[in-house]
Structure 1
Amino acid sequence: MATNPKPQPVASNQPHPTPEAEEVYRRWIRFLDEEFYRHRSPERRAEIVRDQLYQLYLGRPHGGKPNVTLSSELPGNVLGMSLDPENVTLEAEYFSGIDEAEFAIRKPLLWFWKMFDRSPIGLNLWLGMRFRCMLGRHIFDHMGSGVKIHQGVDLTYGYKLSVGDGAVIHQGVLLHDRGGITIGKNAVIGSFVRIFSHSYGNEGNDDVRLQPTKIGDGALIGSHEIIMGGANIGAGQVVGHYPAYKV
């Protein structure tokens, strides 16, 4: 079994936004955090997310009902309506065994997560990491401190996901937490890793077997690796190729 290579020290002069931009970013994240703590109903959360996405994508506040009679305006109407979580469906909603109540309060936030990452500002590393950690506190079963989540991480349920202190999840990772995924403290998940927590029996797609998956403390999962449902990656274990440092 491979063990965790010693990380190289991280430089103290990390890239940073301007003080003015940092203040605006922090205010926005703090505002959203307070709103999602204050409002747990799916309907109110959907309204909050809709209003935020309207400004991120269209540069204007949500302004009532669109004119749906003109064919020339249909593409714009499709875009505007799709910014509202109540008008979209997600793959997880089609799965058997979903906890509908737990998913309902998270669905607007899952849509916010996906659409933020697909917006131009989703590429803003400093802002994006802080935004995702804030949102993760309202989505995940557990979100530790000092977690870093890069762009394009895809979630399934969210409420069956636990992420420990100091964990790093790189870009493009799939966390298919249908059966539950636990990522330990200071674990590092490389880019485009696929982590599953279920498998299929002999009866096809309807024969789903939920198998919780655990990534131990300090484990390193190399880029593009696939972790199958039920795997138990030990503390400090290295799966695949991983360099002797983390970013």
Structure 2
Amino acid sequence: MASVPDVEDAAGDLWLPVRKARAHELVIEVIEDRILSGVLKVGDALPPERELAANLEVSRAGVREAVRVLESQGVLRSQPGAGAAAGTFVAALPREALTRFLRLHVALSNFTIHDVTEARIVLERASAASAARDLHSAARAEIEAALAAGEAAIGARGAFNEADTRFHLAIADASGSGLSAALTGAIREAVRVPLLHAIERNADWGDQSALLQREHRAIAEAIFDGDAERAASLTEAHIRRATSVLFEA
């Protein structure tokens, strides 16, 4: 395995050569190392492709492939053209990219529903409590919109499932933690299909969806009242009961 240049190199020696192996993987490793060490920050430009390839002693194709991979992950962004605005820059990692990455790994790892439920409880209890402590008007409006979508979808299956997801993500967003929101979204997306299949199998869905919606309203009221402990407790009870009804019946 090829080594990566030392993080402690002076700024002028930022792009030292690496021993040749799989070129694009080495370039990725160097760029990731510089980001993790704080040498590269959001908005910083990478050297031009030709210069970076020469400095690292790899092919331009290897640099190009590394940039393509990191762009797909939301780590880099490329701006075509000429002048100072053109080039390849370190980007703030979009939540959509992180969510896509996580949901695939959650799905491929084949976690049990119990595992998913326990993870959801940890995340969503914290999100509900944080939202209750410091709820901004825009976050409240999104929670209310999600509640309205749920009311309109009671008895429906796919539509209520979408509204249910929107409600839980609205609370995660309201927590103020982008990472919690991304993790919550990834978990919800990973179980979206089995959850919908469980809903479709439920013969008493009309009553169940109405009960789920009442629980949503109770959670929202606790958040709006600023009662963090009640919001967290109601969220846990809601997740456990829904899981028991849909997956363990």
Q: TM-score range by the shorter chain?
A: under 0.3
Q: What TM-score do the two structures reach when normalised by structure 2?
A: 0.25
Greater relative contact order (CA < 8 Å, ≥ 6 in sequence) = 2
Q: What TM-score do the two structures reach when normalised by structure 1?
A: 0.25
Larger-gyration structure (1/2): 2
Q: Choose between structure 1 and 2: higher strand proportion.
A: 1
